[in-house]
Amino acid sequence: MLIGIDKIGFATPKYQLKMTELAMARDVEPAKYSEGLLLDALSIAPISEDIVTLAASAAQSMLTDEDKEKIDMVIVATESSIDQSKAAAVYVHALLGIQPFARSFEMKEACYSATAALNYAKLHIEKSPTSRVLVIASDIAKYGIQSAGEPTQGAGSLAMLVTANPRILAFKDDNVAQTRDVMDFWRPNYSEVPFVNGMYSTKQYLDSLTTTWAEYQKRTGLTMADFTAFCFHLPFPKLALKGLNKLMTKDLALPHQEQLKENFEHSIAYSKQVGNIYTGSLYLGLLSLLENAKTLQAGDRLGFFSYGSGAVSEIFSGLLVEGFENQLSSTRQNDLDQRTPLSISEYEQLFFEQAQLDENGSVSFAEHQTNTFRLTGIEQHQRQYSKVD
């Protein structure tokens, strides 16, 4: 039985910060961001757009009523959780109106956990082939004003429906994972923003890639010659480019090298404009590849490198399914272009606004532009969501 990704939905905030604006404000050469990091803009979330509204909006954009009747598991993968106890997936389940006899929960391991969620979804479908599992990677990547990580922030959600006989990508059973205990990026419960050993984190990313790839090759016998495209976790696209260069070997035929490079450019097109969305960034790379590449065909093997600081990494592959192009959107670029550009002071105010709770633990939020759902406020410490008309 083939199991894999049947549909993909995406949501990102309605505001953007252009990297040229950030460069000017921080007295940095614009080329450092555009060429050094390969970033053009970052999506900026207001206080009324959180990981729940983004997750529900991403899923709502692709689900039918029939899906909502058949989904029996909702998993939200995140590293920017809004609650230490209640899972974001429970809110999402309610906002979407999914039938009640479903299992809803949250998963965490930095940017890696959506990959674990897909694995868990696959195991579930193996046992229950008529089920549908909703996996959503949802994050707001916030490092702080004038921090080293400031140019690699971002926000967005990527929703995937995992089913038997999928219409986009069928997973191959070839996953190889690696765990190593390192302090490259972490966020203790008492901190709003992560602690980051920036350069060390990039070394861990690349070393996890090459060592997991070596083990993957040993176990599967596959080489880069077997792949039409390779998608990478995208904390910022330049790091993934360094990753791709590490996997390229001299014996690879030149046209194939060109194809891999060209497809890589397609895979980073959206992240260049959105920034880091942590758990979803690898899968935003997949969506970007599918919606921008013109030469992909059914049967093509796509490779995936998932990396979560801490660190857990995984390499796996999937085959494109006949008719995959019918499941995609042609308006995505337009949606990205429509985001409202922010000045530096608007960005600093909007992205870092803190809820000012009154003595009852309540607050109402201003009506910023959001996607399909909005966080309207907090009442007695309970988050209040509504659908945008």
Is 231 assigned a catalytic role?
no
Nearer to ligand CAA, 34 or 220 (CB): 34
Regarding 35 and contact with ligand CAA (CB under 6 A), the answer is: yes
Shortest distance, position 41 Cβ to ligand CAA, whole Å: 15
- Taking the CA atoms of 292, 139, 301 and 228 in sequence, report the sign of the dihedral they define: positive
Residue 184: strand, helix, or coil? coil
How many CB atoms are located within 10 Å of the residue 210 CB? 12
Regarding 89 and contact with ligand CAA (CB under 6 A), the answer is: no
Burial profile 103-117: b = 16 or more Cβ within 10 angstroms, e = fewer: ebebbbbbbbbbbbb
Regarding 112 and contact with ligand CAA (CB under 6 A), the answer is: no
Only segment of 19-27, 122-130, 147-155, 215-223 that touches ligand CAA (CB under 6 A): 147-155
**Which H, E and C letters describe 315-380, residue by residue?**
EEEEEECCCHHHHCCCCHHHHHHCCEECCHHHHHHHHCCCCCCCCCCCEECCCCCCCCEEEEEEEC
Shortest distance, position 239 Cβ to ligand CAA, whole Å: 6
Sheet holding 41-44, edge to edge: 41-44, 15-18, 340-341
Q: Which of residues 237-276 bind ligand CAA (CB under 6 A)?
A: 239, 276
- Binding track over 308-327 against ligand CAA, x by CB under 6 A: -x------------------
Yes or no: say if 17 and 44 are a contact pair by the CB < 8 Å rule.
yes
Shortest distance, position 149 Cβ to ligand CAA, whole Å: 3
Only segment of 93-101, 170-178, 230-238, 297-305 that touches ligand CAA (CB under 6 A): 230-238
Regarding 152 and contact with ligand CAA (CB under 6 A), the answer is: yes
Marked catalytic residue, from 93, 106, 124, 233: 233
Shortest distance, position 183 Cβ to ligand CAA, whole Å: 12
- Taking the CA atoms of 218, 221, 223 and 228 in sequence, report the sign of the dihedral they define: negative
Regarding 198 and contact with ligand CAA (CB under 6 A), the answer is: yes
Nearer to ligand CAA, 59 or 110 (CB): 110
Whole-number Å distance between alpha carbons of 7 and 134: 10
Marked catalytic residue, from 49, 79, 109, 314: 79
Only segment of 149-157, 209-217, 319-327, 343-351 that touches ligand CAA (CB under 6 A): 149-157
Regarding 233 and contact with ligand CAA (CB under 6 A), the answer is: yes
Regarding 151 and contact with ligand CAA (CB under 6 A), the answer is: yes
Please report, in angstroms and rounded to a whole number, the separation of the first and last CA atoms in the chain.
Answer: 41
Is 35 assigned a catalytic role?
no
Marked catalytic residue, from 111, 231, 266, 291: 111
Q: Which two tokens stand for residue 269?
A: 């097109």
Q: What Cα–Cα distance (Å) separates residue 359 from each residue in 57, 275, 381? A: 31, 37, 10
Only segment of 52-60, 132-140, 145-153, 336-344 that touches ligand CAA (CB under 6 A): 145-153
Alpha helix locations (H) across the chain?
19-25, 30-31, 51-60, 65-70, 88-96, 113-127, 198-220, 237-247, 254-268, 271-274, 281-292, 332-337, 344-351
Shortest distance, position 257 Cβ to ligand CAA, whole Å: 20
| Torsion angle defined by CA atoms of residues 80, 143, 268 and 139, in that order, rounded to the nearest 10 degrees | 10
* Selected binder of ligand CAA within 213, 232, 283, 307 (CB under 6 A): 307
Only segment of 87-95, 130-138, 167-175, 231-239 that touches ligand CAA (CB under 6 A): 231-239
Shortest distance, position 267 Cβ to ligand CAA, whole Å: 15
Of 247, 5, 264, give the one whose Cα is nearest residue 115. Answer: 5
Query: What are the φ/ψ torsions at residue 239 (nearest 5 degrees)?
Result: -65, -40
Burial profile 28-41: b = 16 or more Cβ within 10 angstroms, e = fewer: eebeebeeebbbbb
Shortest distance, position 137 Cβ to ligand CAA, whole Å: 12
* Selected binder of ligand CAA within 2, 36, 187, 329 (CB under 6 A): 36
Shortest distance, position 219 Cβ to ligand CAA, whole Å: 24
Binding site for ligand CAA (CB under 6 A): 29, 31-32, 35-37, 110-111, 148-149, 151-152, 184-185, 196, 198-199, 201-202, 205, 233, 235-236, 239, 276, 278, 307, 309
Q: Which residues are catalytic?
A: 79, 111, 233
